[in-house]
Structure 1
Amino acid sequence: MRVFDAHRIAAIDIARGYAVLTMFIAHAQPDQTSGWGHLLTIAGGGERPRTLFAITGGLALGLFVASGLRRGGDLRELRRTIAIRGVFLIALGLFLQTMASGVSVVLDTWGLLFLIALPFLRVRNVPLLAGSTVLLLVGTAVKLWVGTAVNPVLVLHTELLQLLDWLTTGSYPLLIWLAFLGFGYAISRLDLSRRRTQLVLLVIGVVLFAAVVDAAFTTSAPGSSDTFFGDLLVHVSAIGFAVALIAGLLLVTSGMGTVARIAGFILFPLRAVGSMPLTIYTAHVLALATWRGFGAPGFETWFPFLALSACSLVFATLWRLFVGQGPLERLISSLSRPPARSLPFVNR
């Protein structure tokens, strides 16, 4: 029985599974942490999980487009599929925002990213990387400026605040996340099966991360340093961490050797979570809303995070083994499937 489609890349699923579970830390950690809990917060908290989530999303989008074109798909048809998925994610994200979950929902931002990316799917890597770098610089500067100078003036204009939240001042500002998406999209065009490519990516990621490791560990979120350079260092560090982690996972999971088989077996639950991020993310928002509705029992402990993580790993593993594609992933694939024929969504 084939549990995963042959075109899926294990390292991307595993990295995205890690990103999803570590995002739980910010949503369900106790107010005060010490000991191993503090180490857990350092290892998974801050900017790194969401940056990793964004870059793996860019990778998945690039692989989807490349796979569709390689199989003779029409670019217009691919754009239609991506647009439908984008609209679905916006609607689902806005719906989840109505829940009292305490989560800054990312799905509506992700849907907007899909729509904005549509005209740029065939842009070559050099201008893509250059544009992403410019967006990162501009987005970091604009977020800092808008948050301190403009946002207080518009407190009474809710509709404008929503736009500003999407574009600049929210937890997932579009200008910055477009940069992350572009970096991931560019990486997807490399030959990720080659050891040389994997090693080069690993070196680049480690260098970027190590160059600003102090900023990565001393700043819990972009903007907390209140300086452009400080915020930028946090983003660069998080990008380096994401690239290094993906490259490292590619090295240990690629091929048919003993190491790859052992790593694949051990990391299977995490890969299962990463193969259905929409389902797991939505379920955790609903679970947190229900939990808070009952008064958030155990909020002073790590039990909510551990329960969310364990349930996610067990559910995703069993569902992947006995059913296959995640329920919401199956729904969105059905809604966006072309009328005449279906195109595979790589690492969907």
Structure 2
Amino acid sequence: MKVFNDHRIAAIDIARGYAVLTMFIAHAQPDQASGWAHLLTIASGGERPRTLFAITGGLALGLFVASGLRRGGDIGELRRTIAIRGVFLIALGLFLQTMSSGVSIVLDTWGLLFLIALPFLLVRNTALLVSATVLLVVGTAVKLWVGTSLNLTLAVHTEFLQLLDWFTTGSYPVLIWLAFLGFGYAISRLDLSRRRTQLLLLLGGVVLFSAVVDAVLTTSLPGAPGTFLGDLLEHVSAIGFAVALIAALLLVTSGMGVVARVAGLVLFPLRAVGSMPLTIYTGHVLALTVWRGFGAPGAESWLPFLTLTLCSLVFATLWRLFLGRGPLERLIGVISLPSQSRTQQLPGSLQGAEKVDRTR
């Protein structure tokens, strides 16, 4: 039984699985955490899981485009596929916003990013990295300064509320997240199978993360949360953490040695979650909606988080083993196929679905 396609990179799925599950902490942690539970809060790391999710998303998008072009695909057709998926994500995200889940939904922002990225899929890496850096700086400033004044001016007009949420005042400001996507997209163009590349990424990520942490801890640079420099340093630190984690997972899971096989076996449930992030994310929003609808029993404990995590790991593992691609991932794949290919897919053979599993 072939569980994963050869083109999927285990490290990316595992990293994204970690990002999804640690985001659960912010959504289901008790108000007062103490003792060992502080470790879970530390693991969630504030911005780190969300940034890791965005970086891996950029990686997946870059690998999807590269894979399509390598097989002789047309860039116009690839853009059409990405655009359809973007619209689907926006619609699903806006639908999930109507739920009383207590979660700040990211899917609509992610779909919008897909649409914005369409003209820039073939931009050279140098320009991509420079643009992403500028976007990160400008986006941080817009979020902190411009967003406040715009919110006061335009919030009375309800037709602007969603635009405000996407671009300035929301949890996932488009400019900042577009920068994260750009960094991930640039990394996807490297030869990730080479040990040299993996080691350089690990070193760069660790240095970036450590330098920022050291600067903050020793107060050698001014900047507290809520200030421009403080917020920018938090983003840079999260990027360094994401790059270092992905590189470390590439080192551990790539190759055919004993370490890679053992790591692949142990981390398989996490990889399964990362291979179907849309399904797991949507499922956890629906579960939290039902839970809060019943008065949020057990909210004072870590039981809701542990239940969500365990159910996600078990569901994803069993689904991946016996059915392959996640249900929502399969749906969005079929919707975005050309009409002729879609007709061939509708009978629903697992073998056919796996053959078109071109994206993460």
Gaps of 5+ in 2: 343-354
Q: Which amino acid aligns with 1:55?
A: I
Aligned to 1:34: 34
Equivalents in 2 of 1:150, 1:74: separation in Å? Answer: 41
Does structure 2 retain, via aligned residues, the 8 Å contact 1:147–1:169?
yes
Q: Percent identity?
A: 81
Aligned to 1:46: 46
Deviation, structure 1 residue 4: 0.3
Equivalents in 2 of 1:224, 1:303: separation in Å? Answer: 33
Given the superposition, is the C-alpha separation of residues 165 and 216 from structure 1 closer, same or farther in structure 2, using an over 3 Å criterion?
Answer: farther
SS of structure 1 residue aligned to 2:339: coil
Aligned counterparts, 1:84-103, within 5 A: 84-103=84-103
SS of structure 2 residue aligned to 1:212: helix
Given the superposition, is the C-alpha separation of residues 338 and 215 from structure 1 closer, same or farther in structure 2, using an over 3 Å criterion?
Answer: farther
CA distances 1:158-188 after superposition (whole Å, capped 9, x unpaired): 2222111101221000000000000000000
Equivalents in 2 of 1:23, 1:224: separation in Å? Answer: 23
Aligned to 1:79: 79
Does structure 2 retain, via aligned residues, the 8 Å contact 1:215–1:230?
no
SS of structure 1 residue aligned to 2:166: helix
Given the superposition, is the C-alpha separation of residues 216 and 321 from structure 1 closer, same or farther in structure 2, using an over 3 Å criterion?
Answer: farther
Equivalents in 1 of 2:53, 2:358: separation in Å? Answer: 16
Deviation above 3 Å: which 4+ runs of structure 1? 214-218, 340-347
Gaps of 5+ in 1: none
Moved more, 123-132 or 338-347: 338-347
Q: Which amino acid aligns with 1:106?
A: V
Aligned to 1:70: 70
Q: Which amino acid aligns with 2:113?
A: L
Given the superposition, is the C-alpha separation of residues 135 and 107 from structure 1 closer, same or farther in structure 2, using an over 3 Å criterion?
Answer: same
Aligned to 2:213: 213
Does structure 2 retain, via aligned residues, the 8 Å contact 1:64–1:344?
no
Equivalents in 2 of 1:157, 1:36: separation in Å? Answer: 46
Q: Which amino acid aligns with 1:130?
A: V
Moved more, 37-46 or 270-279: 37-46
User: Does residue 319 of structure 2 align to residue 319 of structure 1?
Assistant: yes
Does structure 2 retain, via aligned residues, the 8 Å contact 1:103–1:285?
yes
Aligned to 2:111: 111
Aligned to 2:345: none
CA distances 1:195-245 after superposition (whole Å, capped 9, x unpaired): 000000000100111111268899xxxx98221000000000000000000
Given the superposition, is the C-alpha separation of residues 253 and 73 from structure 1 closer, same or farther in structure 2, using an over 3 Å criterion?
Answer: same
Aligned to 1:278: 278
Moved more, 146-155 or 291-300: 146-155
CA distances 1:229-265 after superposition (whole Å, capped 9, x unpaired): 0000000000000000000000000010000000000
Aligned counterparts, 1:141-156, within 5 A: 141-156=141-156
Aligned to 1:227: 227
User: Does residue 337 of structure 2 align to residue 337 of structure 1?
Assistant: yes
Equivalents in 1 of 2:337, 2:65: separation in Å? Answer: 14
Given the superposition, is the C-alpha separation of residues 163 and 170 from structure 1 closer, same or farther in structure 2, using an over 3 Å criterion?
Answer: same
CA distances 1:306-330 after superposition (whole Å, capped 9, x unpaired): 0000000000000000000000000
Query: RMSD of the TM alignment (CA)?
Result: 1.7
CA distances 1:47-70 after superposition (whole Å, capped 9, x unpaired): 000000000000000000000000
Aligned to 1:169: 169
Does structure 2 retain, via aligned residues, the 8 Å contact 1:12–1:347?
no
Equivalents in 1 of 2:215, 2:302: separation in Å? Answer: 26
Aligned to 1:59: 59
Aligned to 1:18: 18
Aligned to 1:128: 128
Deviation, structure 1 residue 152: 2.3
Aligned to 1:265: 265
User: Taking structure 1 as the reference length, what is the TM-score of the superposition?
Assistant: 0.96
Q: Which amino acid aligns with 1:11?
A: A
Deviation, structure 1 residue 347: 4.4
Does structure 2 retain, via aligned residues, the 8 Å contact 1:61–1:185?
yes
Given the superposition, is the C-alpha separation of residues 55 and 79 from structure 1 closer, same or farther in structure 2, using an over 3 Å criterion?
Answer: same
Q: Which amino acid aligns with 2:33?
A: T
Aligned length: 344
Given the superposition, is the C-alpha separation of residues 90 and 9 from structure 1 closer, same or farther in structure 2, using an over 3 Å criterion?
Answer: same
Equivalents in 1 of 2:148, 2:88: separation in Å? Answer: 33
Does structure 2 retain, via aligned residues, the 8 Å contact 1:203–1:244?
yes
Does structure 2 retain, via aligned residues, the 8 Å contact 1:216–1:238?
no
Aligned to 1:245: 245
Equivalents in 1 of 2:215, 2:159: separation in Å? Answer: 34
Deviation, structure 1 residue 331: 0.4
Given the superposition, is the C-alpha separation of residues 89 and 332 from structure 1 closer, same or farther in structure 2, using an over 3 Å criterion?
Answer: same
Does structure 2 retain, via aligned residues, the 8 Å contact 1:87–1:111?
yes
Equivalents in 2 of 1:50, 1:280: separation in Å? Answer: 15
Does structure 1 retain, via aligned residues, the 8 Å contact 2:148–2:169?
no
